[in-house]
Structure 1
Amino acid sequence: MFVISKTHVGMVRTVNEDALLATGPKLFAIADGMGGYAAGETASSEALKVLQQEAANFENLEADALSAALAQAVRQANAHIHHLAQTEEKYHDMGTTLVAVYLPGDGRAYIANVGDSRLYSWHQGELRQITVDHSYVAELVAQGEITPQEAFQHPQKNIILRAVGAEAGLEVDVFAMELAEASKLLLCSDGLSDMVQDEQIAAILQGNSTKQAAEMLLEAALDNGGRDNISLILIDLTSTEEED
């Protein structure tokens, strides 16, 4: 397995509020923070810190028990961030998206998602979005009121409906997927997916090595405006390029 991660403040923002957990070998995650001065970067980094600590509880778990433990870890992060937001004025109203994937080596990926950071899978030229965005425009698409193309250009596409730390309780989406038909996994913040359409992401993954693809995805987001922080983790499951 080869893993490469990239993060960039973008062309507009002055602070990078994204946080990445890409040390592996099993747990990978991206969090995209929001809030006032320093609050967003605190929310994202604290969420991943709790997630990494809780990952010690994942060992020797399987199937439904592992999914439940992953969801509980995200809820622990939610409780921690919500407490900080309630007790320290400078952190008031902070929160973060979170997408995480855990690879225990059983041929499956276990995924948790809150907000609009995404996990994609790629195999033989086909890109699939695995997670579901918890956003205003995603709801409009689901209801048939706008098309995915209209959603990509929608002026309110950054409005999210769920965030880690925003409320005392949290609903966490948890997925388990078979890896037999996945060559690569891509985790990203909306700084990538809002700037680069799925068709372009697929084309970049199709025509380039994993390392080149990661560079080109970041460059494409910057070239298309870079209006937000940009973060990605690209996981090559095939081990055909480099071992890391």
Structure 2
Amino acid sequence: MFWNKLFEPLEYTLSGILVSDVGRKRTENQDNFSFGEFVNGNKSNSIRLEIQKVTLPQAYGIMDGMGGEKLGAQASLEAAGFFSDIKRDILEILPKLDTKGREKVFTSLIYSLNEKVCQMALENNVKQSGTTIIAIFFVENRAYIVSVGDSRIFLIRNGEVTQQNKLDTMNITITENGVEKQIRGGLSQFLGMDASEYELVPHIVDLKLKEDDTFLLCSDGLTDYVTPEEIGEAISNKSGVSSVDYLLGLAMERGGKDNTTIIRLDVKAKGTESTVSE
């Protein structure tokens, strides 16, 4: 009995907080999300949500509507709504699948989301609309990360911060005063692309969870102004509410030109205390 208990897999819970803010320059919040049962259906300029000790499986996501395309807010809302509707079905089947099976499911999800955004644009007589997505699925003792675009997800483990997903940004090299430098261009892929002409390839990461892991998902309204090191320091040294308020405050102080959405998720073994709301 003792040995069975000693090697019994840990059961995890999640506590978390979400903030979404329109920023200082934009007049519309084109970010959206799937956080528990909530999406930003009213496209509110400022919103805060919390969860406490929810049991797995769970899934969360941030959808950043593209300001350079028409109906960016509607594109992110379409993606967030469909993701919220389908995530329970995906969570149910993930434990039954091998690696290739999960890749097929996540790729199918991305193509379905892409179709939803394209259909919305067509119905509104818009040539193209777009949104990015970063999502994380927690099942048993694993986390599966899926992304398209330039929103990011960080893992903070034992005080170290590491970015978990690849970005679909295109860098452009320019020469200025005889010096070459790179500036960020557009996106090589996003939700809302013509899938008959371009192949969508989601970035998928499979992680084994450890107790006290913290994940931070964010739109580029945060990472345009705040470094990964600053994110890791804030998560490691501040409680849930304090950390996201601090990070959002930094982004606003340094310009706040874009909408900013942040989700912090803390992984705990069942029965341990969470510090998200302290």
TM range (shorter): 0.7 to 0.9
Structure-2 separation of matches of 1:55 and 1:157: 32
Q: Residue 56 of structure 1 aligns to which amino acid in structure 2?
A: R
1:39 is aligned, of 61, 64, 71, to: 71
Query: In 1, are the aligned partners of 2:70 and 2:128 still within 8 Å (CA)?
Result: no
1:125 is aligned, of 137, 141, 159, to: 159
The alignment yields a C-alpha RMSD, in angstroms, of 2.4
How far the C-alpha of 1:200 sits from its partner, in A, is 1.1
Q: Which has the higher contact order (CA 8 A, sep 6+)?
A: 1
How far the C-alpha of 1:181 sits from its partner, in A, is 7.0
Task: Identify the residue that residue 148 of structure 2 maps to in structure 1.
Answer: 114
Task: Identify the residue that residue 218 of structure 1 maps to in structure 2.
Answer: 248
1:19 matched to 2:32? The reply is yes
Summarize deviations over 1:27-79 as a string: whole Å, max 9, x none.
10001012578600100010111112222322043242334323311210101
Task: Identify the residue that residue 137 of structure 2 maps to in structure 1.
Answer: 102
- The secondary structure found in structure 2 opposite 1:159 is strand
- Residues 124 and 207 (structure 1), Cα distance of their counterparts in 2 relative to 1, 3 Å cut: same
Query: In 2, are the aligned partners of 1:114 and 1:173 still within 8 Å (CA)?
Result: yes
1:74 matched to 2:101? The reply is no
How far the C-alpha of 1:196 sits from its partner, in A, is 0.4
Query: In 1, are the aligned partners of 2:114 and 2:192 still within 8 Å (CA)?
Result: yes
Query: In 2, are the aligned partners of 1:32 and 1:44 still within 8 Å (CA)?
Result: yes
Query: In 2, are the aligned partners of 1:121 and 1:182 still within 8 Å (CA)?
Result: no
How far the C-alpha of 1:86 sits from its partner, in A, is 3.1
Larger Rg: 2
Q: Residue 21 of structure 1 aligns to which amino acid in structure 2?
A: S
1:83-232 maps to which residues of 2 (within 5 A)?
83-89=119-125, 91-104=126-139, 106-137=140-171, 156-157=183-184, 159-168=186-195, 169-180=199-210, 183-232=213-262
Instruction: Please give the TM-score of this superposition, normalised by the length of structure 2.
Output: 0.75
Could you say which structure has the higher helix fraction?
Answer: 1
Structure-1 separation of matches of 2:251 and 2:62: 17
- The secondary structure found in structure 2 opposite 1:164 is coil
Aligned residue pairs total: 229
Q: Residue 116 of structure 2 aligns to which amino acid in structure 1?
A: H
Task: Identify the residue that residue 144 of structure 1 maps to in structure 2.
Answer: none
Q: Residue 96 of structure 1 aligns to which amino acid in structure 2?
A: T
> What are the ranges of 5 or more consecutive residues in structure 2 without an aligned counterpart?
1-13, 38-53, 174-179
Structure-1 separation of matches of 2:273 and 2:148: 32
Structure-2 separation of matches of 1:163 and 1:33: 10
